Structure 1
Amino acid sequence: MAAHITTAVKRFVPRESGWLLPTAWQLYTEAWRQHHHSAGPLLRYIPRRAVLYCPGNDERKLRKLASLDVDCAVLDCEDGVALSKKTEARENIPRMLAELDMGRTEKCVRVNSVSSGLIEDDLQVILQAEVLPPAIMLPKVEDTQEVQWFVDRFQHNLKGRPLTESIRLLTFVETAMGLLNFKAVCEEIRRLAPKAGLHHDGVVFGSDDFCASIGATRTKDARELLYARQKVVVTTKAFGLQAIDLVYIDYKDVEGLRQQAREGALMGFTAGGLYKGQVAGPGSCGCPWTTLLSSPTGLEWLPVLGWGFGPAPSLYPHRCYRATRYYVSF
């Protein structure tokens, strides 16, 4: 399979692209090899080039997901949902999992973090839904104790329900403590996840929350995040997982976006990020991962982290700028 992917990339990326060509071959062959290097059953590889986040409490916007061609649609229970709307999100998401036909798009649910104290209610509802989500995102993972708690409550709320295949787990590195404990977290997930019916599939670097946790000032060239990005990608790839890079904070700066995408690809990330601003409507959703990355040098193949619907709520007023990074209004 890796050979077929390599052949396709060779045909797709122009020879004159120079530096990018070996990077493209490497990322696609490694994506297949590393994905199946991780413990657990053999699963189909999902690239997640475009990941679209949508607040789980907004049924109107959730139903629009079926009309958007993305790799992964995230039904959000976390930062995209105000505290007063969490119950509504938990009521909507199980129904949407059953009713929405998204074709090739992967359905994913982002639950609240273990440290928030809200995740138990998320798991209870989601894991007893008529249709289980193929993937779950677990944000702000900081230590092995949180992994142990999550796996234990996952099994408890699943109540012995048989799974046709493992549920994919994507974890977030978003704090200084999470970065320090990242290797141990991955080891603990590898030890516990397969027995629970989980498959650790990828890691997202939450750059803005990470900056806030260390008191750094976010800059356009992201030099303050160089060490963290390198540690995340090295550790992630060592465990054979997808590595999703930081978001880009100025989506109108096309050249800056391209430069950060180049840097992320050369570092070894298998996906990148884009800051989400205001767009006119659903028809504009494709722009960042198509138009903005199109170029004669083959950048159009580079995977990109997409964005979601709706203004971020003032769940954490003092952290509002961080909570908005996945959202766009229409």
Structure 2
Amino acid sequence: MSEDYRPRRSVLYMPGANERALEKAKGLAADALILDLEDSVSPDKKAEGRDRVCAAVASGEYGNRELTIRVNGLDTEWHAEDLRAAGAAGPAAVVVPKVNSAAEVHQVEKALEAAGAPDHTAIWAMVETPVAMLHAEEIAAASERLTVLVMGTNDLAKELRAEHVPGRAPLLGGLSLALLAARATGKVILDGVYNDVKDLDGFEAECVQGRQFGFDGKTLIHPTQLEACNRVFAPSEDEVAHSRVVIEAFEEAKAQGKGVVTVNGRLIENLHVDIARRVLAVAEAIAAR
């Protein structure tokens, strides 16, 4: 696992023009925050929101939470100024909605460089259209500055004319394509939001599905979703204990020159050891927060 790995189990959207929400975010148990200038900010509040999120990034008052800024889309009148301001503020990342091509990634990258964005400011590309699903690999591979893909499942469902149903069967093809692209290019990938903030059981079930798929974490729209998300996307105590047993058994067998290792009757190979080491690394990174 990369030495700069950091947990992104829970990534919470916060409305950028809402001073009270930004203040509340300082005490929330989110691994990362997306300070939003897009959907949650009305046109007459865009400039105010831009100033607020840039000030929040510069404040140093959010502890070890990863701070990102979601700008308005490339086809909007606010996009260019959002990128200039965000680049100068230097957040952990700039989240760009509806990225559909490698050329758009390059456009964003050049704008951030022109704004003087520091090297640590990454691009998080939201993939939320059929075109993006079909070109997810080229988007993910377009730039080293692009480090995270973010699923925009609401817009994807709209574009597909699909219904929101438990299990998300209409979206599974797109989710799988984006996951394949992220893993093929070594990028992090975050699952999309769950809309019913009162349905915590349904939300947790979707977290479990997302983790089983291989997502690194999930984007959230309400603080009540944080507890389940952080728990589901973290290794359990049993997983950590089993991983330690696997590594110990493998190392002991290797020292004895044995070619076959079993744990609880199951054959252990190098790939199982790699998985076990990743589990421990994730658990250690979460504990270090």
| TM-score with structure 2 setting the length | 0.73
Aligned residue pairs total 243
2:26 partner SS: helix
Letter paired with 1:93:
V
Alpha-carbon separation, structure 1, partners of 2:207 and 2:93: 25
Does the alignment pair 1:265 with 2:211? yes
Does the alignment pair 1:68 with 2:28? yes
Superposed, 1:99-118 pairs within 5 Å as 99-118=59-78
CA gap 1:208/1:114 in 2 versus in 1, 3 angstroms: same
CA gap 1:239/1:63 in 2 versus in 1, 3 angstroms: same
1:204 partner SS: strand
**Residue in structure 1 matched with residue 57 of structure 2 by the alignment:** 97
> Which residue, out of 119, 136, 139, partners 2:94?
136
Letter paired with 1:71:
D
Q: Which has the higher contact order (CA 8 A, sep 6+)?
A: 1
- Which protein has the larger Cα radius of gyration, Structure 1 or Structure 2? 2
Deviations 1:165-211 (A, max 9, x none): 43122111111111122222223224xxxxxxxx3221111111101
State the Cα distance separating 1:216 from its structure 2 match.
1.3
Superposed, 1:100-179 pairs within 5 Å as 100-129=60-89, 132-158=90-116, 163=118, 165-179=119-133
Alpha-carbon separation, structure 2, partners of 1:124 and 1:243: 25
1:155 partner SS: helix
Alpha-carbon separation, structure 2, partners of 1:214 and 1:139: 17
**Residue in structure 1 matched with residue 135 of structure 2 by the alignment:** 181
CA contact (8 A) 1:216 1:224 kept: yes
> Which residue, out of 213, 229, 233, partners 1:289?
229
Alpha-carbon separation, structure 2, partners of 1:216 and 1:269: 22
**Residue in structure 1 matched with residue 181 of structure 2 by the alignment:** 235
CA gap 1:153/1:292 in 2 versus in 1, 3 angstroms: closer
CA contact (8 A) 2:12 2:34 kept: yes
CA gap 1:93/1:259 in 2 versus in 1, 3 angstroms: closer
Alpha-carbon separation, structure 2, partners of 1:55 and 1:154: 22
* Percentage of matched positions with identical amino acids: 26
Alpha-carbon separation, structure 2, partners of 1:206 and 1:93: 21
**Residue in structure 2 matched with residue 320 of structure 1 by the alignment:** none
Unaligned runs of 5+ in 2: 240-278, 284-289
CA gap 1:273/1:122 in 2 versus in 1, 3 angstroms: closer
**Residue in structure 2 matched with residue 45 of structure 1 by the alignment:** 5
State the Cα distance separating 1:260 from its structure 2 match.
2.8
Letter paired with 1:289:
C
1:265 partner SS: helix
State the Cα distance separating 1:273 from its structure 2 match.
4.9
State the Cα distance separating 1:217 from its structure 2 match.
1.5
Alpha-carbon separation, structure 1, partners of 2:191 and 2:197: 15
| TM-score with structure 1 setting the length | 0.65
2:132 partner SS: helix
Letter paired with 2:140:
C
Deviations 1:120-140 (A, max 9, x none): 0102222234xx212211111
CA gap 1:220/1:61 in 2 versus in 1, 3 angstroms: same
Alpha-carbon separation, structure 2, partners of 1:81 and 1:234: 33
1:127 partner SS: helix
State the Cα distance separating 1:298 from its structure 2 match.
6.3
> Which residue, out of 140, 143, 161, partners 1:215?
161
CA contact (8 A) 1:73 1:105 kept: yes
CA gap 1:126/1:293 in 2 versus in 1, 3 angstroms: closer
CA contact (8 A) 1:254 1:292 kept: no
1:68 partner SS: coil
1:73 partner SS: strand
